[in-house]
Amino acid sequence: MSYIKVYVHYVWSTKDRYPFLNDSIRNQLFAHIRENAKTKNIYIDFLNGYTDHVHLLVSLNDDLGIGKIAQLIKGESSHWINQMQLTANKFEWQDEYLAIGVGDDKLDIVRNYIAKQSYHHKKVSFADEYNKFIERYGFDIIKT
């Protein structure tokens, strides 16, 4: 048996940051993401978001990598939203996402940050939040 304890904080937005995710849709979506993740052996530690984005804290396992987890959750959830016709227009996630490793000593800080998304985004836009993540973690200097 392998013993793995690696946490990743994911952040991704709706296509063009359109505010599809009202309270009702968010609640249904988050419940669905949690149930779907269980079937795929993805452990979601914490999940929340706002009208145009999602924050997800996941504990990795030895079966799935960072990219595969994002693909499975984003792809299946967008398909589900469209199948259930939860939005008037076709729903899509933005292609890109952030994935940041979280140490044990920062887990409670990240959980608290994710929990307070509604309060946080009354003061700070998602665009500003996203740009701060990009700057803080040096993604702007990485060339792909």
What does each C-alpha distance from 81 to 21, 44, 84, 115, 140 come to in angstroms?
10, 19, 5, 23, 32
Model pLDDT, residue 141: 55
| Residue 126's pLDDT band (cuts 50, 70, 90) | confident
Which pair of structure tokens corresponds to residue 22? 């009202």
Q: At CA 114, angle to CA 112 and CA 76, rounded to 5? A: 145
Which band of pLDDT confidence, cut at 50, 70 and 90, is reported for residue 16? very high
Which residue carries 């419940």 as its tokens? 31
138 pLDDT tier (thresholds 50, 70, 90): confident
Which CATH number applies to 7-136?
A: 3.30.70.1290
Q: Pick from 83, 90, 3, 76: which is nearest to 37 by CA?
A: 76
Q: What average pLDDT does the segment 92-117 reach?
A: 95
pLDDT at 143 exceeding the cut of 50:
no
Tokens of 62: 């030895």
pTM greater than the 0.85 cutoff: yes
For residue 106, what is the DSSP state? G
The SS3 call for residue 27 is helix
Amino acid at 140: D
- In terms of Cα–Cα distance, which of 108, 79, 85, 84 is closest to 9? 108
Domain ranges of the chain: 7-136
Quick check: 36 pLDDT over 70? yes
